[in-house]
Amino acid sequence: MHIADIDYISTFGRSFFHKARPISKVIFSILLLFSMITTDSIYYILSIIGLMIVFTGLARIPFKQMIHLLGYPLFFSIIFALVFIGQSREMMFLIMGRAVGAAYILVFLIMTTSYTELFGFFSLFMPTLLVDVFIFTYRSLFILLEATSKLFRSIKLRGGYHPLRIVMNMKNMASMIGVLIIHSLEMSERMYNIYSLRGYKGAVNLRRITIWPLGWNDYFVLFAGLASVAWRFIIWK
């Protein structure tokens, strides 16, 4: 799944999760992450993942894209869990569950909160320079992804990529990465000149983030987070 798809879902989503304020969704994510990290019960982690599946349906996020994104942490967690294959099977499932659950919570936050709202909220307590770096990096990803797609398509059309020619593929992919590095350096210099001409003086003015008053969407999200933590300490001790 491309970053552009995530940005589209987070910006144009119309569910009550998308309409909730960033502060409530960030607190919700922190509470769920805290409860998952501090528990040793695989059943509690599975229940949280099940809760996130329900929320994904309510937020109208395509399950196909979500499964595609969660495949990466699942793959790497399986590799790490194989270390405990001869010691504890429960520990193996606990590692995989924590990795997938934590990634699910963070991906859900990103897919229900636009990057301007998210960075705008973090700008309340983070250095302005660091927030600007995140914003510029996020924007550059779209340009680099499009350039990578065009280069790879050009290589395939010219016969430079074949599934059975591994050495040739590696050589051409290395050349493509080199071209992208040069392109990224030129792009960063060009972007800096563009922002300087438009009056950039070390700070991007994001739209004002309103924290109060909270709506019913925010109270629902906060209640779900607090209920999950209470469930963790009352039932799954």
- Check whether residue 82 and residue 190 sit in a common domain: no
- Check whether residue 12 and residue 114 sit in a common domain: yes
Residue 202, domain member (yes or no): no
- Check whether residue 109 and residue 91 sit in a common domain: yes
- Look at the block and give the residue holding tokens 């019913």: 216
- Check whether residue 91 and residue 137 sit in a common domain: no
- Check whether residue 222 and residue 183 sit in a common domain: no
- Check whether residue 31 and residue 111 sit in a common domain: yes
- 10-residue averages of pLDDT along the chain (237 residues): 72 81 88 86 86 88 82 80 72 84 88 79 72 70 73 79 75 79 76 72 60 77 86 70
> How many Å apart are CA 186 and CA 208, to the nearest integer?
32
Per the structure, the complete domain to which residue 181 belongs is given by: 127-197
Task: Report H helices in 83-215.
Answer: 89-112, 115-122, 128-157, 166-197
pLDDT of residue 117: 78
pLDDT of residue 134: 72
Residue 204, domain member (yes or no): no
State both tokens at 40. Answer: 């040793």
pLDDT of residue 200: 65
- Check whether residue 56 and residue 90 sit in a common domain: yes
pLDDT of residue 139: 67
- Look at the block and give the residue holding tokens 């504890």: 88
C-alpha torsion sign, points 51, 54, 59, 62: positive
- Check whether residue 109 and residue 223 sit in a common domain: yes
pLDDT of residue 64: 81
pLDDT of residue 201: 64
Residue 203, domain member (yes or no): no
> How many Å apart are CA 38 and CA 66, to the nearest integer?
25
**Which residues touch 44 (CB under 8 Å, ≥6 apart)?**
35, 36, 231, 232, 236
- Check whether residue 46 and residue 163 sit in a common domain: no
pLDDT of residue 231: 80
pLDDT of residue 205: 61
- Check whether residue 8 and residue 108 sit in a common domain: yes
Query: What value does the CA radius of gyration of the chain take, rounded to a whole number of Å?
Result: 21
Residue 226, domain member (yes or no): yes
- Check whether residue 18 and residue 42 sit in a common domain: yes
Alpha-carbon distance values, 126 to 12, 28, 113, 131, 187 (Å): 26, 20, 18, 7, 26
Indicate the number of domains in the chain.
Answer: 2
